[in-house]
Amino acid sequence: MVKKMLTVSLLLLATLITKAQTVEEMVAQAKQLETQMKEQEAFDKDKEILKIQPTNLDALVQASEMASRIGNRQKDKSTKTTWFNQAKDYAASALKVNPNSATANYAMAVAMGRMALISGAKEKVAASKDVKKYAELAIKFDPQMGPAYHVLGKWNYEVANLNVFERGAAKMLFGGLPDGSLANAIVNYEKCRQLDPGFILNYYELARAYKANDQSDKAIEVLKKALTLRNLTYDDASIKADCKKMLDDLQ
């Protein structure tokens, strides 16, 4: 009887080990798919992983980031909203698994930032506080995370460019405007460039900030550099096309 129980236990242990290895391999495959710019496939793989292991932090974070990217490419607001809500849900689940995860906080900052950009004045201003909070938490837990500085830069840029309705909403909700500026946006974007020099979207947004700050020479320098970089994500080709257009307009 004891021998039989031991045999069953060993079989169960072997099954669990095999399953864990399979999930580990699936996580590696999902990351490889992202590297290959197959973001939909990476997202689908993450969903497969989460069916087996719902608390897998890597899969939750990547699923959130992929949903934010895929959603941002959609044409209509309704579809974008559906994707961004998924991104927020996956990020929220990741934060439940580990609230001190830099990548989970970053994923939430991105998801909320994407949603804010397609929302009305009140929703945009209300979400902006959380975008800043999660980006700063990501930096707290990983001071070398360049993309988190990019999110802070984007936050500053958007706050500096709030329209009259959004400014009114900020005054009503918070008693005044959040503390954001073009100068701070540039500092954050430059910090991101220092930490993650291959992040092409950051170059485009940095150039926009320099342009808005009447520093066209700096914008031109940044755009020229962006055009020399290797594409790393699905969106990089179109971002570089936007960089080329802005460069042509400035020269």
- Predicted confidence at residue 11, as pLDDT, reads 47
What would the pLDDT profile of 207-226 be if each residue is shown by its tens digit? 999 999 999 999 999 999 99
Asked if residue 223 lies in contact with residue 207, where contact means CB atoms within 8 angstroms, the answer is yes
What string of H, E and C letters represents the secondary structure of 40-57?
Answer: HHHHHHHHHHHHHCCCCH
Q: What is the pLDDT of residue 69?
A: 97
Find the range with the poorest average confidence among 63-77, 178-192, 235-249: 178-192
Q: What is the mean pLDDT of the chain?
A: 90
If you write DSSP's letter for every residue of 218-242 in order, what string do you get?
HHHHHHHHHTTSPP-STTHHHHHHH
58: closest CA among 70, 69, 46?
A: 46
Whether the predicted pLDDT of 195 surpasses 70: yes
What was the pLDDT predicted at 9? 52
Domains, the chain, in order of start with CATH, read: 1-118 (1.25.40.10)
The pLDDT tens digits for 141-168 are: 999 999 999 999 999 999 888 777 777 7
Model confidence at 108, pLDDT cuts 50, 70, 90, reads very high
Sign of CA dihedral 229, 237, 49, 93: positive
The angle, 0 to 180 degrees and rounded to 10, between the axes of the packed helices 77-97 and 57-72 is 160
